[in-house]
Amino acid sequence: MNKIVLVTGGSSGIGKVIAKILKENYFTVVIASKNKERLEKTAKELKVDYFKADVSDLKEVQNLIKYIVKKYKKIDVLVNNAGLASSKKIIDENYEEIDNIIKTNVLGVIYCTKESLPYMKDGIIINISSVAGLEGYNELSIYCTSKFAVVGFGEALKKELKDNKIYTICPGPVDTDMWKEYKITPGTKPEDVAKIIIDITKNKYKNGEIIKIYKKEDLKYI
């Protein structure tokens, strides 16, 4: 059987490209997203499996993992990609938005990892963090907080996990629709992130590694 991969936030942006390239490399891909319409459209386009789930909701994550395990019996690779961002001064942030970012970016990663681990052996967990998880940036305090947490989670798990490997990817700005809204075209492409994931599956990185990917000139955007 092919390796089974779960990509959260797989209906658009970086996640969609990750799913596409994994499929092209003969992985069996399941994408998850809370946007049903976009999820179904992407799954049809890429010819991959899918399941609607909001990673910030534990029950939905549990249902997602049950679906995969019932159908495929295992999970070989987990890509925790789903995430939200907000660019505001802390004084202007509203609590609902703060709650959504922390639940999605932090608890979502924890939920998916904890629920997947019983069904992973010699598996790979890949967490998509950010350069904003390594350094603070103006008007990104909540986003930075969430991404620092993802880096810390990976740092702890690399010492804790015995039967599975874990990696943290920290991109800078990536050329997705989010940046197009600001009429900005970053030099890093989603395909660059996806290539790193393929290289991880080929053991080209050390277990526990934090992998940075960005163009220096793009950091002026954040």
Any idea which residues carry the catalytic annotation? Answer: 143
Is 25 in contact with 46 (CB distance < 8 Å)? Answer: no
